[in-house]
């Protein structure tokens, strides 16, 4: 089960900053599930993951409008 980071209600740059801190705490190969409400979180986290060498496995909008972004730590 992936670790869950809830950054709902927080706005740029906090979702990316908190994602960076949280992914550093999980083992390489594990997943971090980010829950966000800031629409900019999706492109921002995707760009950050690519730049840092991680992989966005899934990005979806839940029925309540929450963004769920799953990031795999690769290094």
DSSP three-state, residue 27: coil
pLDDT category at 74 given cuts 50, 70, 90 is: very high
- Report pTM: 0.95
Distance, CA of 11 to CA of 7 (rounded, Å) = 8
What pLDDT digit, counting tens, does each position of 11-38 carry? 999 999 999 999 999 999 999 999 999 9
pLDDT for 26 equals 97
Active site residue 25: no
pLDDT for 47 equals 98
Catalytic-labelled residue, pool 4, 6, 11, 12? 12
**Domains of the chain, first to last:** 3-72 (3.30.110.40)
């Amino acid at each position: 089960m992936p670790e869950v980071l809830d950054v709902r209600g927080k706005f740029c740059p906090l979702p990316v900053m908190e994602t960076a801190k949280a992914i550093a705490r999980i083992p390489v190969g594990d997943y971090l599930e980010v829950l966000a409400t800031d629409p900019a979180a999706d492109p921002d986290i995707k760009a950050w993951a690519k730049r840092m060498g991680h992989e966005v496995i899934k990005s979806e909008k839940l029925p309540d409008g929450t963004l769920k972004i799953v990031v795999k730590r690769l290094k």
